[in-house]
Amino acid sequence: MNTSVLIDSIVRQTTVLIAQLATSAGGRTQLAHTANQVFLDLVKELKHQGLGNKVIADMFGMALRSYHSKIQRLSESNTYRGRSLWEAVLEYVQARTTVLRADVLRRFQQDDSATLRAVLKDLVETGMLFQTGRGDSTAYRAASAEELALAGTEARRDGLESLVWVAVNRHAPATLEDLQQVVPLDRSELERVLAALLADGRISEQVGDDGPRYACPSCLIPLGSTVGWEAAVFDHYQAMVTALTTKLRMGSRTAQPADWVGGSTYGIDVWPGHPLRDEVLGLLRRFRQQAVELRTKVENYNQAHGVPTTGTERVIAYVGQTVVGLEEEGEE
């Protein structure tokens, strides 16, 4: 098997998903940081698998010195060591009433100017900075706490809360640091979201020697809900990836009828007027109905008999369905 071809194919499909998310609902999400963040996260995961820097550099086709240089460049600002460029620029502007772009470029002259301009653009797009003027005479002002509160709409807050809620449910009992590895939010923002989830009882908190750990008994985003779609997408994707990576860690390369971990994909051709079309299109509906009924039975049993503090197993089942050609038929 050619693993490189498999990896390239997965990367291509993932970029299709990212592009669709970035342009959903007419939006234009900034992607300047994405490629760099993917590199850093991939390096981190490879190290977690036990690989050394020399091996990782070779996997990327880089000399060890170039590899270390790139890691350092992407991990922190050259002007402010130990800080990301995004954080350093934001703090620099926040400490002043207004700042010209020329002043920012001069202050961070040791950093790549193209990257610096991208950071400024991202800060403006995300509402952290306000911008006036043109060219190097462009002036920036940091948004006040009141302006940030107004910019953070209820929908955005609910979306973030749902995203963190899903992460807590999947990784409980999770520390703040655990959750930051899954949901890349600023620490203060993550703490705010966790406080909101604690306040309405969606999650619980246990304080241990390593700090608070968060958990929740269940996480349900109702069908038809317009709030938390980001969490639903994240949950679907995470469930699929978790199944694949778990099977790989188990060393299994084949599927067996009695498997408890894995997945199956089926392609079935039907058309309008086909006698089995409705039955085939109803696969997702029937699975959802069966899963909801089974989950309800399990929850009722657990509530009546209690749940052991150790030794429990979590089964994450995921099914996805699409109908290629449905759009051409003009159906919703």
**In terms of domains, do 235 and 211 share one?**
yes
Instruction: Out of 209, 229, 256, pick the residue that ends a domain.
Output: 256
Residues 167 and 224 in one domain: yes
Q: Is residue 80 part of a domain?
A: no
Residues 228 and 284 in one domain: no
Give the pLDDT confidence score for residue 153 in this predicted structure.
Answer: 47
Least confident of 14-23, 68-77, 175-184, 212-221: 68-77
Q: Do 117 and 164 fall into the same domain? A: no
Domain of residue 241, CATH code: 1.10.10.10
Q: Ranked by mean pLDDT, which of 37-41, 48-52, 86-90, 268-272 comes out on top? A: 268-272
Interacting residues of 85 by C-beta distance below 8 A, sequence separation 6+: 76, 77, 108, 111, 115, 116, 119
Q: Are 250 and 261 in contact (CB under 8 A)?
A: yes
In a domain, 90, yes or no: yes
Over its C-alpha atoms, the chain yields an Rg (Å, rounded) of 24
Q: Where are the alpha helices (DSSP H) in the chain?
A: 3-22, 34-48, 53-59, 64-75, 85-94, 101-107, 113-125, 145-151, 154-171, 176-182, 187-199, 229-249, 277-281, 283-305
pTM value is 0.58
Domain assignment of residue 328, yes or no:
yes
160 shares a domain with 225: yes
The token pair that represents 70 in the structure block: 């790139």
**Residue-wise pLDDT tens digits, 137-161:** 899 998 876 666 555 444 456 667 8
User: Same structural domain for residues 121 and 170?
Assistant: no
Structure confidence by residue, pLDDT tens digits, 251-270? 877 888 889 998 888 999 99
Flag the least confident range among 133-137, 212-216, 288-292: 133-137
Residue with the bigger pLDDT between 72 and 57: it is 57
Look at residue 90 in the predicted model and tell me its pLDDT: 85
CA distance 1 to 232: 33
160 and 249, same domain (yes or no): yes
Number of domains forming the structure of the chain: 5
Can you tell me whether residue 279 is helix, strand or coil?
Answer: helix
- The answer to the question of residue 245 being in a domain is yes
Write down which residue in 125, 148, 171 finishes a domain. Answer: 148
The reply to whether 236 and 328 lie within a common domain is: no
> Does 286 reside within a domain?
yes
Quickly state the pLDDT bin for 332 (edges 50, 70, 90). very low
Q: What is the pLDDT of residue 274?
A: 96
Are 245 and 187 found together in one domain?
A: yes
Pick from 256, 289, 309: which residue ends a domain?
A: 256
Structural domain that includes position 102: 85-148
State the average pLDDT over residues 183-202. 85
- Identify whether residues 162 and 249 lie together within a single domain: yes
pLDDT at residue 249 in the model: 85
- pLDDT > 70 in the chain, percent: 82
Residue recorded with tokens 């051709």: 269
For residue 173, cis peptide bond before it (omega within 30 degrees of 0) = yes
Q: For 169-182, what is each residue's pLDDT tens digit?
A: 878 788 888 888 77
Average per-residue pLDDT for the chain: 81
CA distance 167 to 165: 5
pLDDT tens per residue across span 14-31: 877 777 777 665 555 556
**Which pLDDT score is estimated for 224?**
62
Report which DSSP code applies to 213: E
The arithmetic mean of pLDDT across residues 51-56, rounded, is: 90
Residues 179 and 130 in one domain: no
Q: How far is CA 331 from CA 44, 119, 248, 328, in A?
A: 44, 42, 39, 8
pLDDT at 100 over 90: yes
How far apart are the C-alpha atoms of 245 and 261, rounded to whole Å?
10
Q: What is the pLDDT of residue 88?
A: 82
Residues 169 and 234 both lie in one domain: yes
Q: What is the mean pLDDT of residues 85-94?
A: 84
Residue 296 lies in a domain: yes
Q: What is the pLDDT, as a whole number, of residue 225?
A: 61
